[in-house]
Amino acid sequence: MEIKRPSDSITTMTNLVMPNDANIVGNLFGGKLMEWMDICGALSAARHSKNVCVTASVNNISFAKPIHLGETVTLVARVVRAFNTSMEVYIEVYAENIKKGTKRKCNDAYFTYVAVDENYQTVKVPAIQPLSEEEQELFELSLLRRQLKLLMAEKITLKDAPELRAQMVEWMETSKG
Ligand SMILES: CC(C)(COP(=O)(O)OP(=O)(O)OC[C@H]1O[C@@H](n2cnc3c(N)ncnc32)[C@H](O)[C@@H]1OP(=O)(O)O)[C@@H](O)C(=O)NCCC(=O)NCCS
Protein backbone atom coordinates (compact mmCIF):
# COMPACT_ATOMS: atom_id res chain seq x y z
CA MET A 1 0.00 0.00 0.00
CA GLU A 2 1.21 3.46 -0.98
CA ILE A 3 2.43 5.79 1.80
CA LYS A 4 2.11 9.56 1.56
CA ARG A 5 3.19 12.65 3.51
CA PRO A 6 0.66 15.15 4.97
CA SER A 7 2.20 17.80 2.70
CA ASP A 8 1.12 15.81 -0.40
CA SER A 9 -2.49 16.64 0.42
CA ILE A 10 -2.16 20.35 1.26
CA THR A 11 -5.11 22.20 -0.22
CA THR A 12 -5.71 25.94 0.05
CA MET A 13 -8.79 27.96 -0.77
CA THR A 14 -9.30 31.72 -0.55
CA ASN A 15 -12.70 33.41 -0.42
CA LEU A 16 -13.78 37.05 -0.09
CA VAL A 17 -16.46 37.71 2.56
CA MET A 18 -19.32 39.19 0.54
CA PRO A 19 -22.52 40.80 1.94
CA ASN A 20 -24.45 37.55 1.43
CA ASP A 21 -21.95 35.68 3.63
CA ALA A 22 -22.34 38.00 6.64
CA ASN A 23 -24.86 38.63 9.42
CA ILE A 24 -26.38 42.03 10.27
CA VAL A 25 -23.32 43.12 12.27
CA GLY A 26 -21.05 42.35 9.32
CA ASN A 27 -19.46 39.13 10.61
CA LEU A 28 -19.05 36.02 8.45
CA PHE A 29 -21.75 33.42 9.28
CA GLY A 30 -20.38 30.42 11.19
CA GLY A 31 -22.32 28.10 8.89
CA LYS A 32 -20.75 29.66 5.80
CA LEU A 33 -17.27 29.20 7.26
CA MET A 34 -18.07 25.55 8.08
CA GLU A 35 -19.22 25.04 4.48
CA TRP A 36 -15.92 26.42 3.14
CA MET A 37 -13.96 24.29 5.63
CA ASP A 38 -15.89 21.18 4.60
CA ILE A 39 -15.19 21.78 0.89
CA CYS A 40 -11.50 22.51 1.43
CA GLY A 41 -11.14 19.46 3.71
CA ALA A 42 -12.96 17.17 1.26
CA LEU A 43 -10.63 18.31 -1.55
CA SER A 44 -7.60 17.55 0.60
CA ALA A 45 -8.96 14.08 1.44
CA ALA A 46 -9.73 13.51 -2.25
CA ARG A 47 -6.19 14.57 -3.18
CA HIS A 48 -4.83 12.01 -0.69
CA SER A 49 -7.13 9.14 -1.62
CA LYS A 50 -7.77 9.92 -5.30
CA ASN A 51 -11.44 9.19 -4.63
CA VAL A 52 -14.62 11.07 -3.78
CA CYS A 53 -14.70 11.69 -0.02
CA VAL A 54 -17.77 12.19 2.16
CA THR A 55 -17.80 13.89 5.55
CA ALA A 56 -18.23 11.43 8.41
CA SER A 57 -17.76 13.77 11.39
CA VAL A 58 -16.35 17.06 12.63
CA ASN A 59 -14.78 17.84 15.98
CA ASN A 60 -15.53 20.92 18.05
CA ILE A 61 -15.40 24.24 16.14
CA SER A 62 -15.49 27.52 18.06
CA PHE A 63 -15.73 31.01 16.66
CA ALA A 64 -13.51 33.01 19.01
CA LYS A 65 -12.54 35.75 16.56
CA PRO A 66 -15.02 37.33 14.15
CA ILE A 67 -14.19 37.57 10.45
CA HIS A 68 -15.49 40.75 8.87
CA LEU A 69 -17.25 41.67 5.65
CA GLY A 70 -14.66 42.54 2.97
CA GLU A 71 -11.89 40.43 4.51
CA THR A 72 -10.41 37.44 2.72
CA VAL A 73 -10.51 34.00 4.29
CA THR A 74 -7.79 31.48 3.48
CA LEU A 75 -8.26 27.85 4.42
CA VAL A 76 -5.39 25.40 4.54
CA ALA A 77 -6.20 21.69 4.81
CA ARG A 78 -4.02 18.57 5.03
CA VAL A 79 -4.53 14.92 5.91
CA VAL A 80 -2.86 14.26 9.26
CA ARG A 81 -3.65 10.55 9.50
CA ALA A 82 -5.29 7.90 7.37
CA PHE A 83 -6.84 4.79 8.90
CA ASN A 84 -8.51 2.14 6.76
CA THR A 85 -11.09 3.95 4.63
CA SER A 86 -11.21 7.17 6.68
CA MET A 87 -8.85 10.14 6.96
CA GLU A 88 -8.56 12.93 9.48
CA VAL A 89 -7.99 16.35 7.89
CA TYR A 90 -6.69 19.34 9.85
CA ILE A 91 -8.08 22.64 8.57
CA GLU A 92 -6.73 26.04 9.56
CA VAL A 93 -8.51 29.32 8.84
CA TYR A 94 -6.78 32.70 8.37
CA ALA A 95 -8.50 36.05 7.86
CA GLU A 96 -6.75 38.89 6.08
CA ASN A 97 -7.55 42.55 5.80
CA ILE A 98 -5.76 43.35 2.57
CA LYS A 99 -6.17 47.14 2.93
CA LYS A 100 -4.63 47.21 6.42
CA GLY A 101 -2.11 44.48 5.60
CA THR A 102 -3.11 42.40 8.66
CA LYS A 103 -3.56 38.63 8.85
CA ARG A 104 -4.65 36.43 11.77
CA LYS A 105 -5.50 32.82 12.48
CA CYS A 106 -9.19 32.55 13.37
CA ASN A 107 -10.14 28.87 13.64
CA ASP A 108 -9.05 25.32 13.19
CA ALA A 109 -10.83 21.99 13.20
CA TYR A 110 -10.45 18.30 12.46
CA PHE A 111 -12.83 16.80 9.91
CA THR A 112 -13.09 13.06 9.19
CA TYR A 113 -13.78 11.96 5.61
CA VAL A 114 -14.40 8.52 4.15
CA ALA A 115 -13.35 7.61 0.61
CA VAL A 116 -16.06 6.02 -1.55
CA ASP A 117 -16.12 4.63 -5.07
CA GLU A 118 -18.72 5.15 -7.83
CA ASN A 119 -20.99 2.57 -6.17
CA TYR A 120 -20.73 4.33 -2.80
CA GLN A 121 -18.62 1.50 -1.40
CA THR A 122 -15.92 2.57 1.06
CA VAL A 123 -12.38 2.34 -0.34
CA LYS A 124 -9.06 1.71 1.41
CA VAL A 125 -6.84 4.81 1.43
CA PRO A 126 -3.01 5.23 1.41
CA ALA A 127 -1.30 5.50 4.81
CA ILE A 128 0.31 8.69 6.11
CA GLN A 129 3.97 8.89 7.10
CA PRO A 130 4.54 11.87 9.41
CA LEU A 131 8.09 13.26 9.25
CA SER A 132 8.35 16.54 11.14
CA GLU A 133 7.80 16.80 14.90
CA GLU A 134 4.53 18.71 14.32
CA GLU A 135 3.28 16.08 11.84
CA GLN A 136 4.17 13.33 14.32
CA GLU A 137 2.28 15.04 17.15
CA LEU A 138 -0.85 15.60 15.02
CA PHE A 139 -0.61 11.98 13.84
CA GLU A 140 -0.48 10.55 17.38
CA LEU A 141 -3.31 12.69 18.75
CA SER A 142 -5.42 11.79 15.72
CA LEU A 143 -5.93 8.29 17.10
CA LEU A 144 -7.41 9.72 20.31
CA ARG A 145 -9.72 12.04 18.37
CA ARG A 146 -10.84 9.11 16.19
CA GLN A 147 -11.64 7.00 19.24
CA LEU A 148 -13.55 9.89 20.83
CA LYS A 149 -15.57 10.50 17.64
CA LEU A 150 -16.42 6.81 17.26
CA LEU A 151 -17.33 6.58 20.94
CA MET A 152 -19.67 9.58 20.66
CA ALA A 153 -21.22 8.10 17.51
CA GLU A 154 -21.78 4.87 19.51
CA LYS A 155 -19.73 2.91 16.97
CA ILE A 156 -17.35 1.60 19.64
CA THR A 157 -17.27 1.30 23.43
CA LEU A 158 -14.50 2.40 25.79
CA LYS A 159 -13.05 -1.12 25.78
CA ASP A 160 -12.28 -0.65 22.05
CA ALA A 161 -10.39 2.57 22.80
CA PRO A 162 -7.40 1.62 25.02
CA GLU A 163 -5.30 4.67 24.04
CA LEU A 164 -8.14 7.08 24.85
CA ARG A 165 -8.79 5.30 28.15
CA ALA A 166 -5.11 5.54 29.11
CA GLN A 167 -5.09 9.24 28.21
CA MET A 168 -8.21 9.88 30.31
CA VAL A 169 -6.58 8.18 33.30
CA GLU A 170 -3.48 10.34 32.80
CA TRP A 171 -5.61 13.53 32.66
CA MET A 172 -7.43 12.51 35.84
CA GLU A 173 -4.15 11.79 37.64
CA THR A 174 -2.73 15.15 36.53
CA SER A 175 -5.84 17.06 37.63
CA LYS A 176 -5.50 15.59 41.15
CA GLY A 177 -2.22 17.50 41.34
C1 LIG B 1 -19.47 8.07 6.34
C2 LIG B 1 -20.16 6.77 5.95
C3 LIG B 1 -19.75 6.42 4.51
C4 LIG B 1 -19.64 5.68 6.89
O5 LIG B 1 -20.39 4.56 6.59
P6 LIG B 1 -20.53 3.36 7.63
O7 LIG B 1 -21.56 2.42 7.16
O8 LIG B 1 -20.60 3.89 9.00
O9 LIG B 1 -19.21 2.61 7.33
P10 LIG B 1 -18.23 1.92 8.31
O11 LIG B 1 -18.80 1.60 9.64
O12 LIG B 1 -17.65 0.82 7.49
O13 LIG B 1 -17.14 3.04 8.51
C14 LIG B 1 -16.35 3.49 7.44
C15 LIG B 1 -15.30 4.38 8.03
O16 LIG B 1 -15.93 5.54 8.55
C17 LIG B 1 -15.47 5.78 9.87
N18 LIG B 1 -16.53 6.46 10.60
C19 LIG B 1 -17.84 6.14 10.61
N20 LIG B 1 -18.50 7.01 11.40
C21 LIG B 1 -17.59 7.87 11.89
C22 LIG B 1 -17.64 8.98 12.77
N23 LIG B 1 -18.79 9.40 13.29
N24 LIG B 1 -16.49 9.63 13.06
C25 LIG B 1 -15.31 9.25 12.53
N26 LIG B 1 -15.19 8.20 11.68
C27 LIG B 1 -16.32 7.52 11.37
C28 LIG B 1 -15.20 4.38 10.41
O29 LIG B 1 -14.32 4.43 11.53
C30 LIG B 1 -14.56 3.74 9.20
O31 LIG B 1 -13.21 4.19 9.11
P32 LIG B 1 -12.00 3.14 8.86
O33 LIG B 1 -12.39 2.31 7.67
O34 LIG B 1 -10.83 4.01 8.56
O35 LIG B 1 -11.85 2.34 10.11
C36 LIG B 1 -21.71 6.84 6.06
O37 LIG B 1 -22.07 7.05 7.41
C38 LIG B 1 -22.30 7.95 5.22
O39 LIG B 1 -22.51 7.78 4.03
N40 LIG B 1 -22.60 9.10 5.85
C41 LIG B 1 -23.12 10.25 5.14
C42 LIG B 1 -21.99 11.05 4.52
C43 LIG B 1 -22.49 12.40 4.10
O44 LIG B 1 -23.43 12.50 3.36
N45 LIG B 1 -21.83 13.44 4.59
C46 LIG B 1 -22.27 14.77 4.39
C47 LIG B 1 -23.04 15.21 5.58
S48 LIG B 1 -24.61 15.80 5.18
Average of per-residue pLDDT across 50-65: 93
Q: Which of 53, 35, 105 is nearest to 74 (CA)?
A: 105
Angle at Cα 166 formed by Cα 142 and Cα 172, nearest 5°? 110
84 Cβ closer than 6 Å to some ligand 1 atom: yes
Distances from the Cα of 72 to the Cα of 20, 90, 101, 133, angstroms:
14, 20, 11, 30
User: 139 near 127, Cβ under 8 Å?
Assistant: no
Of all protein residues, whose CA lies closest to atom 19 belonging to ligand 1? 56
Q: Could you identify the atom of ligand 1 that is nearest to the CA of residue 124?
A: 33
Q: Is 34 in the pocket of ligand 1 (CB under 6 A)?
A: no
Query: What pLDDT, in 10s, does the model give residues 10-55?
Result: 999 999 999 999 999 999 999 999 999 999 999 999 999 999 999 9
Residue 176 pLDDT class (50, 70, 90 cuts): confident
Band of residue 126 on the pLDDT scale cut at 50, 70, 90: very high
Q: Is the CB of 147 under 6 A from ligand 1?
A: no
Average pLDDT, the chain: 96
> Whose Cα sits closest to atom 9 in ligand 1?
122
Report the alpha-carbon distance of residue 13 to residue 36 in Å, rounded.
8
Average pLDDT over residues 126-155: 96
Tens-digit pLDDT profile for residues 74-84: 999 999 999 99
Taking residues 123-141, report their average pLDDT.
97
| DSSP code per residue over 9-48 | G-EEEEEE--GGGB-TTSBBPHHHHHHHHHHHHHHHHHHH
pLDDT of residue 1: 73
Q: What is the pTM of this model?
A: 0.95
- C-alpha 123/C-alpha 83 separation (Å) is 11
Is any ligand 1 atom within 6 A of the Cβ of residue 57? Answer: yes
What domains appear along the chain, each with residue ranges and CATH number? 3-130 (3.10.129.10)
Beta strands in 39-97 (DSSP E): 52-58, 72-82, 86-97
| Secondary element (H or E) of residue 108 | strand 102-116
Distance (angstroms) between ligand 1 centre and the Cα of 54 equals 8
Contacts of 105 (CB under 8 A, 6+ apart): 92, 93, 94
Residue 47 Cα, ligand 1 centroid: separation in angstroms?
A: 18
Kindly state the percentage of the chain with pLDDT values over 90.
Answer: 93
Nearest CA, atom 36, ligand 1: 56
Please give the share of the chain, as a percent, with pLDDT higher than 70.
99
